[in-house]
Amino acid sequence: MPMPTINAAIAAQGTQTTFVSSSEQQTVSNVPQDYLGASPIIYGTSAFAQLYNPIEAHWPAEACARAIDLGINTFDTSPYYGNSEEVLGNALKAIQATHPRSTYYLSTKIGRYGPKKADFDYSKERVRKSVETSMQRMGTDYLDVVFAHDVEFVSVESAVEAVGELFRLKAEGKIKHVGISGYPLPYLLALIPILHSRHGQKLDILLTYCHYNLHNTLLQDYVAQFKDMGIQTVWNASPLSMGLLRSFTPAPAWHPAPPLLHSAVEDCIQIIKKNSPSKDLAEVAVKFAMKWEGCEGLVLGMSNAVEVEQNIRWWNETRQSAQRTPQNEEETPEERDERLVKTRLEGFTKLEWASPPMDDC
């Protein structure tokens, strides 16, 4: 099959203003195959592995169908996310009569298979086996996007080897777009030209996380540099900063944020509670990330169809609010909440924590 280019997607797709509302349903259509026409919301499926909260068995199929119906056409997963690939594959199989493979993109990763550095394997043999296993789990004979997962945990030579095998799999038609994912932006910026030089071709896509949210907007300082290197598509993941920016669910005990940031987030939770008692800080955080048009995709984890509809509603609300003329209107409660939270967190906007963690090096 011909290999599409992401450059074409940028020219053809443009900026999506709104999704179909949850009370409507668009006609399910095939996604472009000659370029990556991914929706601006990417469905993050780690929740299917119950890493954050329990789920009901019927949720994944319902959520995937609802997502496609409302315009979300891309699913992102990884073998590192427990049994997420299997659950996603079973969900898509259950809805294939109405939502065939041609109506969505699949994105997964290779290289990381557990929480420690010892769980990484970037060898070309494991890369190929991992891609084949992912395709089997998800019931497909090709993958639209494959990332080398968390490249900062391995040596440069290991990254070169893994990406080289991904490029070979792309040439064979098993992968359409090759990318890397990771956290530390300076490291990614340094690694990309090495990979390009060693392989004589450019990566298609980059995924990073926790770098455009209420407490960290560092990604906006790097996007232009990534684009200058030939990375045409950048996805921003984890607008909740790995569960930190939520009112009603405590941050995970392993969260790497420093104590001062944890304390500031607690203050933000109280700010929201005082001014908008029924609101979750998560809503403020997700809508803040949705408003930024500096990247091509926002990866959002969703457990069920209700959360799919909620995120569609929030997206559409951010687009509607952007059409306001602030000069002629008073500050809305939503704008006030965001301003107060951002003010409390302004000292952390350029903060990066260690990745890999110092105790894992």
Beta strands of 203-266 (E only): which ranges? 205-209, 233-237
How many residues belong to the chain? 361
Annotated domain spans of the chain: 29-356
Beta strands of 39-167 (E only): which ranges? 41-44, 74-76, 105-110, 143-148
Chain center to CA of 171? 25
Distance CA 269, CA 243 (A): 13
Distance CA 342, CA 338 (A): 6
Return the pLDDT at 282: 97
Distance CA 185, CA 267 (A): 28
DSSP 3-state of 181: strand
Catalytic residue among 81, 104, 105, 122: 81
Cα→Cα distances 127→78, 82, 166, 210, Å: 13, 18, 7, 26
112 forms bridges with which residues in the sheet? Answer: 120
**Is residue 212 packed enough to be buried (19+ CB in 10 Å), middle (13-18) or exposed (0-12)?**
buried
Return the pLDDT at 26: 65
Return the pLDDT at 174: 98
Beta strands of 154-259 (E only): which ranges? 175-182, 205-209, 233-237
Distance CA 229, CA 145 (A): 19
Instruction: List the one residue out of 263, 212, 203 whose CA is nearest residue 230.
Output: 203
Distance CA 143, CA 181 (A): 16
DSSP assignment of 111-146, as one string? SB-SSSGGGB---HHHHHHHHHHHHHHHT-S-EEEE
Q: Is 183 a catalytic residue?
A: no
Distance CA 191, CA 331 (A): 43
The number of beta carbons lying within 10 Å of the beta carbon of residue 263 is 12
CATH assignment of 29-356?
A: 3.20.20.100
DSSP 3-state of 282: helix
Instruction: List the one residue out of 134, 156, 133, 129 whose CA is nearest residue 145.
Output: 134
In contact, 235 and 297? CB cutoff 8 Å: yes
**What string of pLDDT tens digits covers the 361 residues of the chain?**
333 333 333 334 444 556 776 666 667 899 999 999 999 999 999 999 987 788 999 999 999 999 999 999 999 999 999 999 999 999 999 999 999 999 999 999 999 999 999 999 999 999 999 999 999 999 999 999 999 999 999 999 999 999 999 999 999 999 999 999 999 999 999 999 999 999 999 999 999 999 999 999 999 999 999 999 999 999 999 999 999 999 999 998 889 999 999 999 999 999 999 999 999 999 999 999 999 999 999 999 999 999 999 999 999 999 988 877 666 678 999 999 999 999 999 999 999 999 987 555 4
Q: Which amino acid is at 318?
A: T
For tokens 């990073």, name the residue: 208
Instruction: Flag whether the pTM goes above 0.85.
Output: yes
**Is residue 118 packed enough to be buried (19+ CB in 10 Å), middle (13-18) or exposed (0-12)?**
exposed
Q: At what angle do helices 259-275 and 333-345 cross, to 10 degrees?
A: 160
